[in-house]
Structure 1
Amino acid sequence: MLALLPVQAVAASEATCHLTVTAMNFGAYSPLATRPMDFTADVSVLCTAPDETTIPVAGSIRLIADDASGAPHLESGRKKLRYQLFVDAARSVPWTSSLSPPEFSGLVSGALPFRHRMTIYGRIQARQFEPGVGYYEDAIAVVLNY
């Protein structure tokens, strides 16, 4: 399982925004699988305003990876399993800490909250024989700037 950990927002607006994320549950890995394992997680932003005045809100959702090699991996004890995160369903645009972060914008008021949802796409490549069968986990920080 990959836990995407929301980090408290960095604000530059009168609006108050909150970030929520779902876990990406990969399940049990088998090196005998011939196809990659694909899974998703949702990242949601909810912004509210203090009064009925409509104000613009804009921001970005940034990934913070703690692995200096830039190659994320799930762990099970000392065993490591490589995976990648993507910002598109085709899994052609990797989501990395060096990528320009996905952005959002809209209007918010006390009567009309602003909601933004994005899906993060994960993939474990098939035929990673060294790690072996098992359950693996990792955690990544996701930061909301607005």
Structure 2
Amino acid sequence: MNKLHNRLLRSALLAIAGLAPAAAFAGSGTNNLAVSATVSSSCSITSTTALAFGTATASTLPLDGQGALSFTCTNTTPWMVFGDVGQNASGSQRRMVNAGQYLAYNIYSDSARSTVFPVALGSLGSGNTGGTGTGLSQTVTVYGRIPAGTALPAPGTYTDTIVLTLNW
């Protein structure tokens, strides 16, 4: 009986609450809020992936590797990537170094390794290392090669650093 009494009491309270008048408002008003933003032509480098050749032996040459530069440019912004010759170059020949000995290599802008990666700014938006921004992440791949016939120096780990520049 007690359970029935509680249910009836709850039902009655809910019914009474439903009959209560809603709060009265004195009035209301509206107005517009202007919203704006200016998007400027820009690019931002987000990451690089190292160009790693792995282990070079007389039987592995030519030895290929690849690295990458990832970035984001605003939509329709023309861009171009180029790279310097590295810290250990002899003239235009890129070289890695270890304890005063050098290992020659080259970088290319195509997977066939037939077009040398540019070392100076060319026309924005053109070539294998140029394009137009999409507003989303984009990537330029750097294709490397230690050529066949390269004289291999003493065993060790050889390194170099190339500065890649993204212009827009």
Shift of 1:64: 1.9
* Runs of at least 5 residues in structure 1 that lack an aligned partner in the other structure: 1-12, 49-54, 108-112
Distance 1:125 1:68, change over 3 A: closer
CA–CA distance in structure 1, aligned partners of residues 121 and 165 of structure 2 = 14
Residue 136 of structure 2: which of 92, 97, 114 is its match? Answer: 114
Secondary structure, counterpart of 1:91 in structure 2: coil
| Aligned 8 A contact 1:43 1:117 in 2 | yes
SS in 2 for 1:43: strand
The alignment status of 1:63 with 2:95, answered yes or no, reads no
TM-score by length of 2: 0.63
> Would the alpha carbon gap of residues 80 and 58 (structure 1) be closer, same or farther in structure 2, given more than 3 Å must change?
same
- How far did residue 127 of structure 1 move? 4.0
- Per-residue Cα deviation, 1:43-80 (whole angstroms, up to 9, x for no partner): 212135xxxxxx53111112122536010001111110
**Structure 2 residue 51 is the aligned partner of structure 1 residue 24:** yes
Aligned to 1:44: 70
Q: In proportion to residue count, which structure has more strand?
A: 1
How far apart are the structure 1 equivalents of 2:121 and 2:145?
17
Q: Which protein is richer in helix relative to its size? A: 2
User: Once the two structures are aligned, what percentage of the paired residues are identical?
Assistant: 26
Q: What is the CA-CA distance between 1:27 and the residue it aligns to? A: 2.2
**Once superposed, which parts of structure 1, at least 4 consecutive aligned residues long, lie more than 4 Å away?**
none
Unmatched tracts of structure 2, length 5 or more:
1-38
Aligned residues: 122
Tell me the TM-score normalized by structure 1.
0.71
* Cα RMSD after superposing both structures: 2.4
Structure number with higher relative contact order (C-alpha < 8 Å, ≥ 6 residues apart): 1
Deviation at 1:34, TM superposition (A): 4.9
Identify if the C-alpha distance between structure 1 residues 45 and 34 changes in structure 2 by more than 3 Å, giving closer, same or farther.
closer
